Amino acid sequence: MPWKLPESDGELLKLAKGYPYSAPSGSYFFVSGEARPLVAGRCDGKLFQDRVPVIAHGSNRAPEQLARKFGKASEIPVSCASLHDYDVVYSAHMSRYGAIAATLQHTPGVEVEVFVTWLTGAQLIRMHETELGAEIYGYGEMRGVRLVLEAGPAEQIEQAGIYLSGHGCLSFGGGPIGLAAVPASGRRIRSLEQAEALALVQARLRPAESLDTMILNAIRRPDFRHGLIGDMRAQAVPPEAPHFQPLDP
């Protein structure tokens, strides 16, 4: 089951506008609901044994989102990483909690910060439950990529699981829009904070409503959200991820 949403308007708006939430400046071990630093060369390799590496490019990079999905009892090593020739951009869809979520787009020459969550089999099943139910993200593997880990079982890996949007990228001026909250080297496209991206969608697609009204309607009225997603998708930049191989979850 998906994680439970708050009930008050204020908390819902905070959740939507806060995406992708704060992430530590480096690798960490999510344990007891906290993010404890993992230092390269000084972390126990056993932490990563029998775990599946899954790239986190949006909210899953943040300890507070891991706490929502897994609770405070779970233990998850999380490697800060640099992914080459891809950028983290806004997907042409809105989540059930009112945020415009992230996806990856192939962009030669860009080096973007992502995180790698190392999940047990049971944790991967739980992550599928939170990511795949809306039929927006698909699960698969990035194969043959250059993914350099700050701390982890190796300095670099070339294959990892990932959730990617099939709706394409939110468009601005014919091109995708980067997530300003996610650092990238060589980024050539415009980047926006979440609130700015939401305001762009509101001004373009729902100008008769206030921003907060649009967000709350999208959360509380699935029909409204699906209509909004359809309008976003009609103007989307097609997705490009040549290293992605879909898998059955």
Of 134-143, 155-164, 173-182, minimum mean pLDDT range: 134-143
Q: What is the mean pLDDT of residues 95-102?
A: 96
How far is it, in rounded angstroms, from Cα 103 to Cα 93?
Answer: 10
pTM metric for this prediction: 0.95
Each residue's pLDDT tens digit, 125-159: 999 999 987 668 999 999 999 999 999 999 999 99
Each residue's pLDDT tens digit, 192-215: 999 999 999 999 999 999 999 999
Dihedral angle over CA of 53, 56, 60, 66, nearest 10: 20
Smallest CA-to-CA distance from 115 within 200, 57, 172 is with 57
Element (H, E) at 242: none
Smallest CA-to-CA distance from 77 within 53, 112, 57, 102 is with 53
pLDDT value, residue 1: 59
Of 57-66, 114-123, 129-138, 160-169, minimum mean pLDDT range: 129-138
**pLDDT, the chain, mean:** 94
Q: Check whether 41 has a pLDDT greater than 70.
A: no
β partners of residue 164: 138
How far is it, in rounded angstroms, from Cα 182 to Cα 186?
Answer: 13
The domain made up of 9-246 is a member of CATH 3.10.490.10: yes
Q: Check whether 24 has a pLDDT greater than 70.
A: yes
Residue type, 188: R
Spatial contact of 86 and 143, defined as CB atoms under 8 Å apart: no
Each residue's pLDDT tens digit, 214-241: 999 999 999 999 999 999 999 999 999 9
Q: Check whether 249 has a pLDDT greater than 80.
A: no
Report CA 42 to chain centroid distance, whole Å.
Answer: 28
Q: What is the mean pLDDT of residues 178-205?
A: 97
Q: What is the mean pLDDT of residues 154-165?
A: 96
| DSSP category for residue 169 | B
